[in-house]
């Protein structure tokens, strides 16, 4: 089975976010007043696996080891089984 994976990485509450601060200040300079600016990183990829549980476990391991720093980041995952059928019954 093929799965479409989306990982959203964001800073934990209380962590400094200089990127968001710069965006908020720049928008203010342009005349737009916004509050509570946050930034998130979205990583997408396709992965093969026997089951959604197996894929979820591997994606969680990827997040813990490489895709984010669990000390300062939170992350959420969205795993969607891809429909690869062409409608002809050849699946």
Determine, yes or no, domain membership for 91: no
| Residue 47, beta-bridge partner list | 3
Q: Which pLDDT belongs to residue 84?
A: 79
**Nearest residue to 59 (alpha-carbon basis) of 1, 13, 9, 5:** 5
Determine, yes or no, domain membership for 60: yes
Determine, yes or no, domain membership for 73: yes
Determine, yes or no, domain membership for 28: yes
Domain CATH code at residue 22: 3.30.1280.10
Determine, yes or no, domain membership for 88: no
Determine, yes or no, domain membership for 87: no
Q: How confident is the model at residue 27 (pLDDT cuts 50, 70, 90)?
A: very high
What does DSSP assign to residue 64? I
Determine, yes or no, domain membership for 55: yes
Residue ranges making up the domain that contains 10: 2-81
**Nearest residue to 10 (alpha-carbon basis) of 57, 63, 83, 54:** 63
pLDDT tens-digit readout, 36-88: 899 999 999 999 999 999 999 999 999 999 999 999 999 999 999 998 777 66
Determine, yes or no, domain membership for 6: yes
d(CA 18, CA 88): 52
The domain total for the chain is 1
């Amino acid at each position: 089975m093929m799965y479409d994976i989306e990982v959203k990485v964001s800073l934990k509450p209380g962590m400094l976010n200089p990127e968001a601060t710069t965006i908020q200040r720049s928008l203010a300079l342009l005349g737009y007043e916004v509050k509570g600016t946050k930034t998130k990183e979205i990583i997408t990829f396709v992965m093969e696996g026997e089951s959604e549980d197996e894929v979820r476990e591997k994606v969680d391991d990827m997040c813990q080891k490489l895709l984010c720093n669990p000390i300062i980041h939170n992350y959420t995952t969205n795993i969607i089984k891809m429909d690869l059928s062409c409608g002809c019954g050849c699946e």
